[in-house]
Amino acid sequence: MTAEVHTMTPCLATIEQLAELACDGVSNTCAEQLLDTAGVHSAGCNILDHHSSHNHYTQLIMAALTLRENSPTYDATASRLLLSKLTSEVNHSLTFTSTTSTNLTSPALSYQQGFLSYVRKGIDLGQIRPEMIAYDLQLLAKKIVPNLDSNLTYAELHSLSNQLLMRHQGRCFELPQYAFMRIAIALAMKENKGEARIAEIYRLLSMRSYSRISTKIFREGAISKPYEILHGNTDENNATSKKVRHLRLVN
């Protein structure tokens, strides 16, 4: 992808500014064309509210994908918008304050601080192995490189966010680099290695193509939820039986 992208959602006042940031530095893209394709004609649309911003992101992403058919560089714009949307969702899930989630001047700091909240939330929800807290998470958070998220294409990021990143009640609370660090910690644990080895594994994971990382590897450090066996079950009696077994597992 061209140009560096801020991975933590900046303090944007309007959908116009969001479009400008998404196109900034990307050749053969234009914020005005993006807004026109999205059907945005009124100036000053406020996107500070989390719920209303969701629709604005979707509008612009769909517009970028439409424009991509004739101008491939709009894929980078679509990826930036999806990443910003995902980041906004994760920020909201981790209950960031405005000072930690909207500082445009130091996006890396916010991203790295969020890793600690993410691990705590994952452990509390029973989705991340609690043994991870034995490591120096603050040190490992500093090893995270947020801008590596910008190397992901739209298709890769869409696949990650829809299928592999951790969610709770339908809302994502894991960002790509958080997932890579989680995996690195889990793999190092199997080797009985420390933070230096974790940093090495993280670097290898984050620098390679995400498509070359298997689904099995992506589950490292994660705990399979017993209730997952209920998904897609249309037999009411069978579902009830499985729900009872789930309750026995967690009680």
Q: What would the pLDDT profile of 174-213 be if each residue is shown by its tens digit?
A: 999 999 999 999 999 999 999 999 999 999 998 876 667 8
Tell me whether residue 167 is in a domain: yes
Model pLDDT, residue 250? 36
The pLDDT value given to residue 122:
96
Comparing CA positions, the residue from 79, 95, 94, 102 lying closest to residue 8 is 102
Count the residues in the chain: 251
What pLDDT does residue 226 have? 40
40: containing domain: 15-220
Whole-prediction pTM? 0.77
Residue 213 belongs to a domain: yes
Residue type (1 letter), 34: L
Q: What is the mean pLDDT of residues 34-57?
A: 72
Residue 46 lies in a domain: yes
* DSSP letter for each residue of 119-131: HHHHHHTT-B-GG
Q: Is residue 23 part of a domain?
A: yes
Is residue 235, in this structure, part of any structural domain at all?
no
Residue 247 lies in a domain: no
Sequence-ordered list of residues with C-beta below 8 angstroms from that of 247, at least 6 positions apart, any chain: none
For the chain, give the percent of residues with pLDDT over 90: 55
**Domains: count for the chain:** 1
114 occurs within a structural domain = yes
Burial 145-173 (b: 16+ CB within 10 A, else e): bbebbbbbbbeebbebbeebbbbeeeebb
Which among 103, 76, 74, 73 is positioned nearest to 87, based on CA atoms?
103
